[in-house]
Amino acid sequence: MACDISNGPYRGNLYVCWTNHGTSPGNTGNEIICYMIKSSDSGATWSAPIRINQDPVGQGKTHYFPWVTCDQANGNVSVVFYDNRNVNNNQAEAFMAYSFDGCNTITDMQVSDVSWTPSPVPLMATGYMGDYLGITAYNGMVYPTWTDNRLGYVMAWVSPIQLVIPEGFVGATADFLNDTTYGNGDGKMDYNETELLGLTMTNTGTAEADSVTVT
């Protein structure tokens, strides 16, 4: 579960993800699919399930163990999960899905550079490799983390990804011309006339803005 605490347009959204056996709704088919629901009213109501993995349905593939985070600087949502769309059904790769618009649309990508064959961790429960994944993000940088046994034993891996280049973008959203204090009171900025101009400005970028110049 993740909550958007940024100052972005989807502030307050809640996101919950899980692994589902079959296609939702109805849980039909033999695929294992990662889904998400979201709420924009503090959990009072929830959306219909949103599919996280973006490969075609009906291929009999497995996608599982999703972990979700929300970038506190911009509200972007990212999910890391295991996936075998490109490999044999007994193998896995790490994937990450992300959204810039409150999960109205989702894109996914492979983040591991190799595939591996999951197997039980020695001295752990029988048949258990574990759901040792995690993900965090801030200011456009995302850090999907997972475990795999490519070396013959289980190790943790991370693939830092810059989804957004931080940049301030300041625009004027309102203005007020004071033509009374220094001007002639006709409500216009006449030639060679000095005026007072009030501006309301908003930073709609992804970073703090400094050295702002009005031209």
Higher pLDDT, 174 or 178: 178
Amino acid at 188: K
What is the pLDDT, as a whole number, of residue 197?
72
CATH 2.120.10.10 maps onto the chain at: 2-162
Higher pLDDT, 31 or 167: 31
What is the pLDDT, as a whole number, of residue 183?
75
Q: 24: burial class by Cβ within 10 Å (0-12, 13-18, 19+)?
A: middle
Quick: pLDDT tens for 2-53: 999 999 999 999 999 999 998 888 888 889 999 999 999 999 999 999 999 9
Distance between CA atoms of 89 and 82, rounded to whole angstroms?
Answer: 12
Beta carbons within 8 Å of 94's beta carbon, 6+ residues apart: 80, 81, 82, 83, 110, 111, 112, 133, 144, 146, 148, 157, 159
Higher pLDDT, 42 or 208: 42
Buried b (16+ CB within 10 A) or exposed e, 158-175: ebebebbeeeeeeeeeee
**Which of 92-101, 125-134, 186-195 shows the highest mean pLDDT?**
92-101
pLDDT higher than 70, residue 204: no
pTM strictly above 0.85: no
Phi, psi dihedrals of residue 119, rounded to the nearest 5°: -150, 160
Describe the strand order of the beta sheet including 28-39 as a list of residue ranges.
2-3, 14-23, 28-39, 50-51
Residue for token pair 């349905």: 57
Q: What is the CA radius of gyration of the chain?
A: 24
CB hemisphere CA count around 71 (13 angstroms): 29
Domain 2-162 listed as CATH 3.30.70.20:
no
Instruction: Decide: 63 and 19 in contact? Cβ < 8 Å.
Output: yes
CA distance readout (Å), 166 to 46, 73, 138, 206, 208? 31, 10, 10, 5, 9
